[in-house]
Each structure stands twice: as C-alpha cells, then as structure tokens.
C-alpha cells in the first residue's frame, strides 16, 4: 500500500459568517481526496489537507470558486 501524498493548503477567502463556513464545509469536505478541512471565519482562512494522488490544488480552488468563494493560496505546507 503506497503512502498517501498528503498536502496542506492555507487559503484566504471572503468568509464572513457561520453560514459561509458551513457552506464550504458541506461542499468541500466531500470533494474527492480531501482528508481534513478547517474554516476560520475570524481569520477568513480555509486550511485544507488533501491527497495529491486524488485531486489537485487547481481542482480544489475551482470547487471553492464554483460555490462562490474564490480563494488565494497563502501557504503550502
């Protein structure tokens, strides 16, 4: 069994309330390859851990944009 290629992105997005946070959690948590997701309304950030073998940074950014949250990458871990 090969080791997963897990990567973490810290994204900046225009999140201003709990319902924004919930919408992101409800949609992105179930994207293929996503293993962990944390949304901070206070910091307007999304921390997303994903398996690079199953999805890509571009695909995740596109998914966020599709639900109304275009995001910028702040950090790659």
Block mean pLDDT (10 aa), the chain, length 77: 86 96 96 96 97 96 97 97
Task: Give the pLDDT score at 32.
Answer: 95
* Dihedral sign computed on CA atoms, order 28, 37, 64, 43: positive
Element (H, E) at 41: none
Task: Give the pLDDT score at 48.
Answer: 97
Task: Give the pLDDT score at 15.
Answer: 96
């Amino acid at each position: 069994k090969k080791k997963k290629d897990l990567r973490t992105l810290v994204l900046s997005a225009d999140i201003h309330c709990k319902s924004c946070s919930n919408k992101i959690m409800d949609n992105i948590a179930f994207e293929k390859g996503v293993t962990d997701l944390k949304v901070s309304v206070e910091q307007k950030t999304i921390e997303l851990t994903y398996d690079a073998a199953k999805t890509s940074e571009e695909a995740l950014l596109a998914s966020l944009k599709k639900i109304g949250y275009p995001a910028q990458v702040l950090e790659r871990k």
